Amino acid sequence: MPIETTTHLNLHGEARAALEFYQSVFGGHLTIATYRDVGMPADAPGAENVVFGSLQSEDGFRIMAYDIPGPATRATGGATRRENGVTVTDQPFFVSVRGDTLDEVKGYWDALSAGASIVEPLAASAWSPGFGMLTDTFGVTWILDVAAADRAE
């Protein structure tokens, strides 16, 4: 089965604007889900920010983006962690790998997780049958997930 490896941008309140800009450049189908869409109370600060955004064109261009929860931070060389139920990072991007089945993704997860720091264990999420995040021994943060039906903007 084919897998997709996609650059995943980590932004501060600009993910929607960035994805819309890239769509104006490359065309393609834009998918956006907000924190509110996945269960955050609508009146909470940041509820309208992007928790999952992707752009995919027929020509093969793919990019993902989300809005990092909390205040903007400067990159300091490698911090990605879970804090109060949200992922906090100073990394400008992650590598995202998407597969078709949980078994397929679990195989990649098991191999990549050797010696890694687990940020979020591979498990079902509000948007995927399997989602996990880890930072490998080289300091690269990976997101692995199982493809799910597209969400409308």
**What pLDDT, on a 0 to 100 scale, did the predictor assign at position 1?**
59
**What pLDDT, on a 0 to 100 scale, did the predictor assign at position 124?**
92
pTM metric for this prediction: 0.63
Q: How, if at all, do strands 93-99 and 141-146 pair?
A: parallel
- Domain segments of the chain: what residues? 4-146
Span 4-146: which CATH code?
A: 3.10.180.10
Q: How far is residue 88's CA from residue 104's CA, in Å, rounded to a whole number?
A: 27
The predicted model gives 81-105 an average pLDDT of: 79
**What pLDDT, on a 0 to 100 scale, did the predictor assign at position 139?**
77
**In sequence order, which ranges of the chain are alpha helices (DSSP H)?**
15-26, 102-112
